[in-house]
Amino acid sequence: MINRVVLVGRLTKDPELRYTPSGVAMARFTLAVNRTFSNQQGEREADFINCVVWRKQAENTANYLKKGSLAGVEGRIQTGSYEGQDGKRVYTTDVVADSVQFLEPRNSSGGNQGGQSSSGNGQQQYSAPSYQQNQPSNQQNYTRVDEDPFSNSSGPIEVSDDDLPF
């Protein structure tokens, strides 16, 4: 049996970071994912997908993503239910993320934070810093951000059909 989900979309609001009683970090957020087709009025619709991420990834998600951020999520679908305040059964569906990729620089996306803003359609991928367990406290963690190899080019980039993997 296979239960894998891969999504790319924008956050509808800032992630909500919480901690379990035992101190485990958990973040919830909703991704707006555009559909590949238009409706009868010619408009693109979106699906709003609830996501949950745990532990260090949850803290990184809450620190680096905000409303409007473009993110990639890989994980699995999890369903559940609970009894609502009115006594009726409420059914839930969430994507439990194994991996959250930050797909644009921190200072682009919805609302610039005073820094330079990128065009928002760059092909770079930015991801959270990787952390190791039991790391010495004097060792710093850094996020690697590669330079955009296409930043100095003007106009479209020519690619032959032979260079495409499909």
Torsion from C-alpha of 47, 64, 102, 143, nearest 10 degrees = -170
Using the predicted structure, report yes or no on whether residue 2 has a pLDDT greater than 60.
yes
Residue-level pLDDT at 146: 56
The per-residue pLDDT for range 128-160, each reduced to its tens digit, is: 443 333 434 444 444 445 555 556 666 666 666
Q: Single out the residue of 103, 144, 101 nearest to residue 122, CA to CA.
A: 103
Residue 69 falls within a domain, yes or no? yes
User: Please, what is the Cα angle at 153 between 148 and 159, to 5 degrees?
Assistant: 90
**pLDDT: which is higher, 57 or 164:** 57
Residue 146 falls within a domain, yes or no? no
Residue 26 falls within a domain, yes or no? yes
Mean pLDDT of the chain: 77
Residue 74 falls within a domain, yes or no? yes
Distances (CA, A) of 63 to 17, 68, 72, 88, 123: 9, 14, 16, 36, 22
Taking the C-alpha atoms of residue 76 and residue 143, their distance in angstroms, rounded to an integer, is 26
Taking the C-alpha atoms of residue 10 and residue 33, their distance in angstroms, rounded to an integer, is 7
CATH number at residue 3: 2.40.50.140
Amino acid at the residue 5:
V
Torsion from C-alpha of 103, 106, 112, 115, nearest 10 degrees = -130
Residue 75 falls within a domain, yes or no? yes
Taking the C-alpha atoms of residue 40 and residue 139, their distance in angstroms, rounded to an integer, is 57
Domain tally for the chain? 1
Mean pLDDT of 32-44: 87
Question: Could you count the other beta carbons within 10 Å of the beta carbon of residue 28?
Answer: 16
Using the predicted structure, report yes or no on whether residue 7 has a pLDDT greater than 60.
yes
Residue 23 falls within a domain, yes or no? yes
Residue 5 falls within a domain, yes or no? yes
Residue 89 falls within a domain, yes or no? yes
Q: List the domain range (segments joined by +) for residue 7.
A: 1-35+44-110+122-127
